[in-house]
Amino acid sequence: MEKEARKLTVRYAFLQSSYWMSQCAIYSFAAVFLKSKNFDNTQIGFVLSLAAVISIILQPIVASFADKTKKISLRYIVITLMMIVMALALILFIMPDSFLLIAGIYVLINALQYTLNPLFNSLALEYLNIGVPMNYGLARGIGSIAFAIMSYLLGILVNQFGPNVLLTIFIITYVFVIISAFTFKIKIPANPSLKSNSNNLDNNNIATTEKVNENSDNAPSGIFTFFIKYKKFTLHLIGLSMIFYSHSVINTYLINIIEKVGGNSTDMGISLSIAAALELPTMAVFIYLVRKIKCSTLLKTAAFFFCIKAGLAWLAPNVITVHISMALQMLSFALYTPASVYYVNAIIDEKDKVKGQSMLGVATLGIAGTIANITGGSILDKFGVSDMLFIGTIVTFIGFLIVLVSTENTEK
């Protein structure tokens, strides 16, 4: 089983790496690309917010379908969504100069990308829940390193070749995302103790998500029933969405923050790469941390450092201080990402786990992204970078307080 776990960790690292490299090009440099197509900050915020709104609707629908379906595996649902993303990117590449077309396709690509992220977590948890000890944190951390490298390279490439290079890089990296999804499967050795827990594996003993709903008690909860059933988790999601407000604002408008303190797109790439590179140590050792410290405690710790990161970005007088703020990613986002996955897996019933993971995406990428991008762009155009970051810091602090009171204690 250890050999299979290592194989799965490598394949999951490939999936996470290729995804985050593509996401760097299409989302993290979105403001750079869209500005080159004559979008102002408010319009950029609207495009990314609309993508988040669509993902808010799409994620629960896809998650509910994945929880209920007996015929289609989660892996094939993921691959189908990826094929749609690739088709949209190719259309944009062929017809790159229409304002409305760029806006529409950018909305759809990012909405689908938001939707895919929590589904990747569910893919990994299928194996973890049947006893395959893959290292989720290490694989996700390697994804962050890939993001770091891509951020640095894109900052240089944009300066040399212009923002149009971003779409080309996205398409190239997305080929590898699709390949990695196809290869994310392993054969499970015959083992009675595993077999009895493997309702999520198909008849060929490869990872899929065929669900066994033999009676109404095992049926997944509907969306509204889910929120009623998990009241404290719902409050927790509200807190997370507020915490991620500043995170979304900083990531979307990082080029504006960097330019305010005298930097350029190369500095932006460096800042993103610092943040992403420092995620690896935290994620790699998370499997050991969570054995010693409750994941609920780790979540609260991450929430605290989101506040510190937001405040430091607001007060930054120069590029170096922005870099330091982004370095706190290792104690905020890098700690939150695996902790939240384990947390949901611990407090949500088996039949609702895919939906629970998707709700994290709805809160952090959907709701937070929507509000942050709409208000952030508007505040930026009307009042400037400092006011945008100040408001982000206040909202994040309130979210931190909500997370403190709503996070349920978990076992180690």
39-79: pLDDT as tens digits: 988 898 889 889 888 988 888 888 788 777 767 788 888 99
CB 25 within 8 A of CB 340: no
**Does some domain include residue 143?**
yes
Which CATH number goes with the domain that contains 28? 1.20.1250.20
**Does some domain include residue 180?**
yes
* Residue found by looking up tokens 């050795």 in the block: 189
Please report the DSSP string for 104-173 in residue order: HHHHHHHHHHHHHHHHHHHHHHHHHTTT----HHHHHHHHHHHHHHHHHHHHHHHHHH-TTHHHHHHHHH
> Beta-carbon neighbour count of residue 270 at 10 Å?
21
Region 117-125: mean pLDDT is: 83
Q: Average the pLDDT over each of 191-195, 326-330, 358-362 and give the range with the smallest value.
A: 191-195
Q: Which amino acid is at 379?
A: I
**Does some domain include residue 378?**
yes
**Does some domain include residue 181?**
yes
Query: Two tokens at 267?
Result: 């500095």
DSSP state of 97: -
Count of domains in the chain? 1
pLDDT on residue 192:
41
Region 26-34: mean pLDDT is: 89
pLDDT on residue 117:
84
Look up the domain containing 296 and give its range: 2-406
Q: Does the pLDDT at position 367 exceed 70? A: yes
Does this model's pTM top 0.75? no
* Percent of the chain predicted with pLDDT > 70: 90
**Does some domain include residue 99?**
yes
SS3 207: strand
CB 75 within 8 A of CB 123: yes
| Cα 195 from Cα 199, distance rounded (Å) | 8
> Beta-carbon neighbour count of residue 125 at 10 Å?
21
**Residue 243's pLDDT band (cuts 50, 70, 90):** very high
**Does some domain include residue 333?**
yes
Reported as half-sphere exposure (CB side, CA atoms, 13 A), residue 20 has a value of: 26
| Phi-psi sector, 245: left (phi>0), alpha (psi -120 to 50), beta | alpha
| Cα 389 from Cα 312, distance rounded (Å) | 9
**Does some domain include residue 411?**
no
CB 185 within 8 A of CB 207: yes
**Does some domain include residue 358?**
yes
**Residue 194's pLDDT band (cuts 50, 70, 90):** very low
Return all residues near 277 (Cβ < 8 A) that are at least 6 apart: 144, 145, 148
CB 137 within 8 A of CB 285: yes
Radius of gyration for the alpha carbons in the chain, expressed in angstroms and rounded? 20
pLDDT on residue 26:
92
